[in-house]
Amino acid sequence: MTRISAGVTTPHVPAIGAALDNGKAAEPYWAAVFSGYERSKQWIAQQNPDVVILVYNDHASAFSLDIVPTFAIGCADLFESADEGWGRRPIPVIQGHPELAAHIAQSVIQQDFDLTIVHRMDLDHGLTVPLSLMFGQPVAWPARVIPLAVNVVLYPPPSGRRCYELGKAIRNAVQSYDADLNVQVWGSGGMSHQIHGPRAGLINREWDARLMDRIINEPEELSRIPHIEYVREAGAEGIELVMWLVMRGALDDTVRTIHRFYHVPASNTAVGHLILENTQ
The stretch 258-269 carries a mean pLDDT of 95
* SS3 per-residue string spanning 259-270: EEEEEEEECCEE
Q: What is the pLDDT of residue 65?
A: 86
Q: What is the pLDDT of residue 1?
A: 82
Distance between CA atoms of residues 31 and 12, nearest Å: 16
All structural domains of the chain, each given as residue ranges with its CATH number in brackets, are: 3-278 (3.40.830.10)
At 225, give phi and psi (nearest 5°).
-65, 130
pTM for the full predicted model = 0.97
Catalytic residues: 125, 193
Distance between CA atoms of residues 247 and 130, nearest Å: 14
Strand pairing of 3-10 and 269-278? antiparallel
Question: Residues 51-74, buried b or exposed e (16+ Cβ, 10 A)?
Answer: bbbbbbbbeebbbeeeeebbbbbb
The stretch 84-94 carries a mean pLDDT of 95
Contact 114, 71 (CB under 8 A): yes
Return all residues near 230 (Cβ < 8 A) that are at least 6 apart: 160, 238, 239, 241, 242
Distance between CA atoms of residues 142 and 138, nearest Å: 8
Does residue 164 surpass a pLDDT of 80? yes
> pLDDT tens digits, residue range 29-53?
999 999 999 999 999 999 999 999 9
From residue 141, alpha-carbon distances to 21, 35, 130, 132, 271 in Å are 16, 21, 12, 9, 23
